[in-house]
Amino acid sequence: MMTATPNNSMLLEGKTILLGITGGIAAYKSCNIVRLLQKRGARVKVVMSEHATEFVGPLTFRALTNEPVAVGLFDDPSDPIHHISLAQEPDLVVVAPATANIIAKMANGIADDLISTTLLATPRPIVIAPAMNNGMWKAPATQANMATLRERGVHVVGPGSGYLACGDVDTGRMSEPEDIVEAICEVLYPAPQDLAGKRIVITAGPTHEPIDPVRFIGNRSSGKMGIALAGEAVRRGAAVTLVLGPTSLDVPHGVECVRVQTAAEMLQAALNAFQTADAAICAAAVADYTPAAPADHKLKKANERLDRIELVETVDILAELSRQKGERRVIGFAAETDNVVEYAERKLARKGCDAIIANDVSRADSGFGTDTNKAWIVSTAATQELPVLTKPQLADTILDLLKNI
């Protein structure tokens, strides 16, 4: 059975999110939060403090949301109790950035403007993303206020560490919009923690086998499927080590990532992580062959042979993990263009793993770089054909195979 996933592109369809913006330089990032929420299908309304409007004008958010932007307690003569309607309408309220001032007001029940009265009145879940100077963040008063809010069930994202507006490099910067939106999805659709206490190794992406310092043998893998698996596994409580080949994609929050380039590096990293793991999922597209003697300089076609490169076979990572698995579970992938199930069944028998996820990469809606996959789960017990799923949805379905490890 598939579980809900925050990576589903329209997960928030039908939901209304009230975005509260307070007076910090990170207010400019709130524009991206609006867009990311809208991409998930949410309707977004905005309430701003007076100070927030000094950083980003209300007109910006009016244009982004196609909704009136609330600022003052008495701005809307047609709604004399605007803070109550704002408090009750959304499914969730998020404050980003949340300054030390609004955090103090929330903790102490102060309601002296529209945003603070709305926050005091709302019965909805609240997510805050603190953003302030490090000294303000570490101040005993702020930490006491944060403890109070956490005790009351307010969900907190961050703050992160990095370059602050004051010039310091320290803790206090607002979390990235993507992480804030993920936290919102987590609150509205909490994942089952059925993989808590389990350690899973996941390989993802391509490998690059060097011919010389410039050229390499590679493939079209983007790493999207393996990264989706890592993100969903963490959501469901697992500790994940992602052994990731060359890709520009971001790694989900909470995932331990070991970046590699070659098949040999991926093999060693996977074997090291598998020593203490309960399961492995090999989603990487690993090169079958690598140049026997990579050149230490760029080869020149004028006087060096490039039409004949001696290749040697790489070690089969899936087969090696399967050989060492014992009672643990190992799942592999098969990217095929024809006879998908037949070839996957042969691979299952040859590799000795517990299941093969076969996907038809000849389809426009499946395979490398796409956001969806058409797949079959092939095991010794049965073969299950799946509908076209988003990669996160497919990831959840695959992870269901590991619930009882």
Residues with catalytic roles:
166
Burial 217-254 (b: 16+ CB within 10 A, else e): bebebbbbbbbbbbbbbbbbebbbbbbbbbbeeebbee
Residue that the structure tokens 């003697």 belong to: 293
Angle between helices 100-108 and 140-151 (to 10 degrees): 50
Contacts of 334 (CB under 8 A, 6+ apart): 340, 343, 344, 347, 356, 357, 358, 359, 378
Contacts of 36 (CB under 8 A, 6+ apart): 177, 178, 181
- Distance between CA atoms of 38 and 13, rounded to whole angstroms? 9
Contacts of 296 (CB under 8 A, 6+ apart): 212, 213
Reduced to 3 states, what is the DSSP secondary structure of residue 135? helix
**Element (DSSP H or E) covering residue 35:** helix 30-39
